[in-house]
Structure 1
Amino acid sequence: MCTAVRFTDSEGNLFFGRNLDWTVGYGERVVVTPPAAKVPAAFERPDDPERGHTVMGMGIVVGDLPLYFDCANDAGLAVAGLNFPQSARYAAEPVEDTVNVAAYEFPYWVARNFSTVEEVRAALERVTVVARPVNEQLPVANLHWIISDATGAIVVECLERGLVVWDDDVNVLTNEPDFGWHRQNLRNYLMLTGGEPAAATWGSARLAPFGSGVGMQGLPGDYGGPARFVRAAFVNAHYPTKSGEKDNVTRLFRTLGAAAVPEGCAEMADGSEERTLYTSGYSVATRTYYHAAYDAPAICAYPLDACDLTGDKPFFAEAAA
Structure 2
Amino acid sequence: MCTSIIFSPKDHYFGRNLDLELSFGQQVVITPRNYDFKFRKMPEIKSHYAMVGVSLVAENYPLYFDAANEKGLGMAGLNYPGNADYKDFNPEKNNVSPFEFIPWVLCQCATVAEAKDLLANINLVDINFSEQMTLSTLHWLLADKTGSSIVVESDKDGLHIYDNPVGVLTNNPQFPKQLFNLNNYSDVSAKMPENLFSSEVSFDGYSRGLGSRNLPGGADSESRFVRATFNKFNAPKTDNEQENVDTYFHILHSVEQQRGVDQVGPDKFEYTIYSDGTNLETGVFYYTTYTNKRINKVDMNHEDLDSEKLICYPMLDQITFNEQN
- Asked if these proteins are the same fold (TM beyond 0.5), I'd say yes
Structure 1 residues 202 and 149: CA distance shift in structure 2, 3 A: closer
**Do 2:37 and 2:45's aligned partners in 1 also have CA atoms closer than 8 Å?**
no
Amino acid at match of 1:110: V
User: Alignment partner of 2:286: what SS?
Assistant: strand
**Do 1:58 and 1:71's aligned partners in 2 also have CA atoms closer than 8 Å?**
yes
1:129 equivalent to 2:127? Answer no
Amino acid at match of 2:82: Q
Distance in 1 (alpha carbons) for counterparts of 2:288 and 2:3 = 15
- Residue of structure 1 equivalent to 2:111: 116
**Do 1:200 and 1:207's aligned partners in 2 also have CA atoms closer than 8 Å?**
no
Distance in 2 (alpha carbons) for counterparts of 1:178 and 1:201 = 34
User: Alignment partner of 2:263: what SS?
Assistant: coil
- Residue of structure 1 equivalent to 2:42: 44
- Residue of structure 1 equivalent to 2:155: 159
Structure 1 residues 6 and 203: CA distance shift in structure 2, 3 A: closer
- Residue of structure 2 equivalent to 1:68: 64
**Do 2:27 and 2:315's aligned partners in 1 also have CA atoms closer than 8 Å?**
no
User: Alignment partner of 1:108: what SS?
Assistant: helix
Pick one of 20, 27, 30 that aligns with 1:29. Answer: 27
Pick one of 171, 184, 191 that aligns with 2:187. Answer: 191
Q: Write out per-residue CA displacement over residues 241-296 of structure 1, whole angstroms, 9 at most, x where no aligned residue.
A: 22121011111100011110011110014441000000000012331111111012
Deviation at 1:39, TM superposition (A): 2.2
1:250 equivalent to 2:246? Answer yes
- Residue of structure 2 equivalent to 1:95: 90
Pick one of 221, 225, 231 that aligns with 2:227. Answer: 231
User: Alignment partner of 2:171: what SS?
Assistant: coil
Amino acid at match of 1:263: R
Deviation at 1:297, TM superposition (A): 1.7
User: Alignment partner of 1:229: what SS?
Assistant: helix
Q: Write out per-residue CA displacement over residues 164-189 of structure 1, whole angstroms, 9 at most, x where no aligned residue.
A: 00110011000000100000000011
User: Alignment partner of 2:224: what SS?
Assistant: helix
In the comparison of the two structures, how many residue pairs are matched?
A: 315
Judge which range, 295-304 or 179-188, deviates more.
295-304
Distance in 2 (alpha carbons) for counterparts of 1:202 and 1:44 = 64
User: Alignment partner of 2:128: what SS?
Assistant: coil
Deviation at 1:94, TM superposition (A): 1.7
1:105 equivalent to 2:103? Answer no
CA RMSD of aligned residues (A): 1.8
1:15 equivalent to 2:6? Answer no
Distance in 2 (alpha carbons) for counterparts of 1:28 and 1:116 = 26
Distance in 2 (alpha carbons) for counterparts of 1:158 and 1:273 = 28
1:277 equivalent to 2:296? Answer no
Q: Write out per-residue CA displacement over residues 187-220 of structure 1, whole angstroms, 9 at most, x where no aligned residue.
A: 0111100001235786876322123210012111
Distance in 1 (alpha carbons) for counterparts of 2:97 and 2:19 = 23
- Residue of structure 1 equivalent to 2:74: 78
Distance in 2 (alpha carbons) for counterparts of 1:73 and 1:213 = 39
Distance in 2 (alpha carbons) for counterparts of 1:81 and 1:227 = 19
**Do 1:52 and 1:113's aligned partners in 2 also have CA atoms closer than 8 Å?**
yes
**Do 1:307 and 1:317's aligned partners in 2 also have CA atoms closer than 8 Å?**
no
Judge which range, 157-166 or 202-211, deviates more.
202-211
- Residue of structure 2 equivalent to 1:304: 300
Structure 1: segments with no counterpart, 5+ residues: none
Amino acid at match of 2:303: C
**Do 2:259 and 2:269's aligned partners in 1 also have CA atoms closer than 8 Å?**
yes
Structure 1 residues 40 and 200: CA distance shift in structure 2, 3 A: closer
Distance in 2 (alpha carbons) for counterparts of 1:298 and 1:240 = 21
Pick one of 48, 55, 69 that aligns with 2:51. Answer: 55
Distance in 2 (alpha carbons) for counterparts of 1:170 and 1:283 = 18
User: Alignment partner of 1:154: what SS?
Assistant: strand
Deviation at 1:155, TM superposition (A): 0.2
Structure 1 residues 44 and 218: CA distance shift in structure 2, 3 A: same
Distance in 1 (alpha carbons) for counterparts of 2:90 and 2:199 = 69
